[in-house]
Amino acid sequence: MAAPSMIRESLRLSSPATRLSLRSGLAAAAAVAVSSLFDLGHGYWVILTVLIVTKANLGGTVLRSKERIIGTLLGAVIGLPMIFLLEGHTYALLVLLAIALAVYALIGQISYYILAATVTVQVFLLFGLMGADPASMLSERLLDTVLGTVLGTAFSLILLPDTARSRLRRKQADALEQFEAALAYLQERRRGASIDLARYRSIIAANQDNLSDCETLRQEAAHEPGQRLFLNQSGRINAQLKILHTEIISMAGPMRRLGDADLPRDLAASLDLLDEAVNRELACTVEALRTGNPGDLCGKAMAEASENVSAALERLRDTHEAPDRILLDAALHARRSNQVCEDLRTMRQFA
């Protein structure tokens, strides 16, 4: 896609990036207004909280808001006693500050709860070193955090809202389309195309990234109201996607060996029909995830293609016109193709 087209696409109101930018910007502006109106002592904490918790979808914002509040409370519980017990002991507070920084660097990225807690401890220790009043510092930190999360959640709820549920369905469909790219590469290899490991590895890496994104979005969707049935269904789809990822990788060996062999014409033709039937099943499932309607592409194509492959293999076994290794790889390819289609049909039941 050319740069001007990408820019125009990004600036559309339907673009998730544009929606997020508008929500974040207006929520931050509201935070500035609230901080000025009520003359908050550390009003920038409200603005920072808004920018941190506002995510591309409602579920993500609610989840990050919870993590921010709970992490802040945990940090206050840890940091305040340190200040009270070690008031005036500058070197001891500096040592604790160094420990807090080390914890932040080592394990802060594991969980945002830990990150928010360690940052809060650092803030309390720094202000304790400057002689600030712990009670007022606690009230301001908690108030500013709550205000920031309320503003971020409110703008995510009312301004061009986008849910984790809708984004998850789109991402699951994107993952299937990426599987389609992997299958296309393997099908080309089966027909004798030259190997392109860089292309194949990039496709597999993109598949893994999509699967990770699907799981993250499902976790965020859990924080949106009324999602129990959807969470059960999307969890099963995510599980099927992971299985499908493994199955497609397992198809690489037989398809590569078939591409390197000289196949009898009727076997090659039946395998072509089999690949086309798998592609139709995949297209049906993508359609089901995007629209909730599987369409009319599937029909009996897969059953007929499997019968053709079985008939070709049986004839070749009887006539001994092909080596056993070719027949074995063709049978493996047919079996795994059937399994992939069964998984796709299962996935459509939950779409």
pLDDT digits (tens, 9 = 90+) for 115-130: 999 999 999 999 889 8
- At residue 349 the predicted structure's pLDDT band, cuts being 50, 70 and 90, is confident
Per-residue pLDDT reduced to its tens digit, 289-314: 988 776 655 667 888 999 999 999 99
Give me the phi and psi of 162, to 5 degrees please. Answer: -135, 125
* Dist CA 124 CA 147 (whole Å): 19
pLDDT, the chain, mean: 91
Top pLDDT among 229 and 59 is at: 59
Query: Looking at the structure, do residues 56 and 173 belong to the same domain, yes or no?
Result: no
CA triple 36-40-42, angle to 5 deg: 115
Q: How many domains does the chain have?
A: 2
> Do residues 153 and 171 both lie within one domain?
no
Residues 186, 311 within the same domain: yes
Residue at which a domain ends, from 116, 135, 158: 158
Judgement on whether residues 198 and 140 belong to the same structural domain of the protein: no
Is 274 among the domain residues? yes
Q: What is the pLDDT of residue 135?
A: 81
Same domain, 51 and 152: yes
Residues ≥6 apart with Cβ < 8 Å to 20:
54, 55, 56
> Is residue 109 a part of any domain in this protein?
yes
* Residue 75 belongs to some domain of the structure: yes
158, 180, 203: which is the final residue of a domain? 158
Indicate the residue among 158, 189, 221 that finishes a domain.
158
Residues 177 and 273 in one domain: yes
Confirm whether 10 is domain-assigned: no
**In terms of domains, do 127 and 270 share one?**
no
CATH code for the domain of 276: 1.20.58
Q: Does some domain include residue 3?
A: no
* Beta-carbon count within 10 A of 249 CB: 14
The Cα 55–Cα 41 span in angstroms is 26
Q: Do 231 and 337 belong together in one domain? A: yes
**Could you tell me if residue 13 is inside a domain?**
no
103-118 tens-digit pLDDT? 999 998 899 999 999 9
In a domain, 11, yes or no: no
Domain identity same for 92 and 74:
yes
| One domain, residues 148 and 292 | no
More confident residue, 6 or 262: 262
- Residue 9 domain-assigned? no
**35 close to 44: Cβ distance less than 8 angstroms:** yes
pLDDT value for 320: 87
Q: Are 83 and 214 part of one and the same domain? A: no
Q: Tell me: do 76 and 212 sit in the same domain.
A: no
pTM assigned to the model? 0.85
**pLDDT at residue number 125:** 93
> Per-residue pLDDT averaged across 2-19, rounded?
72
Range of the domain at 328: 164-349
SS (H, E, C) the chain: CCHHHHHHHHHCCCCHHHHHHHHHHHHHHHHHHHHHHCCCCCCHHHHHHHHHHCCCCHHHHHHHHHHHHHHHHHHHHHHHHHHHHCCCCHHHHHHHHHHHHHHHHHHCCCCHHHHHHHHHHHHHHHHHHCCCCHHHHHHHHHHHHHHHHHHHHHHHHHCCCCCHHHHHHHHHHHHHHHHHHHHHHHHHHHCCCCCCHHHHHHHHHHHHHHHHHHHHHHHHHCCCCCCHHHHHHHHHHHHHHHHHHHHHHHCHHHHHHHHHCCCCHHHHHHHHHHHHHHHHHHHHHHHHHHHCCCCCCCCCHHHHHHHHHHHHHHHHHHHCCCCHHHHHHHHHHHHHHHHHHHHHHHHHHCC
CA 67 to chain centre: 19
Distances (CA, A) of 321 to 103, 190, 307: 68, 19, 19
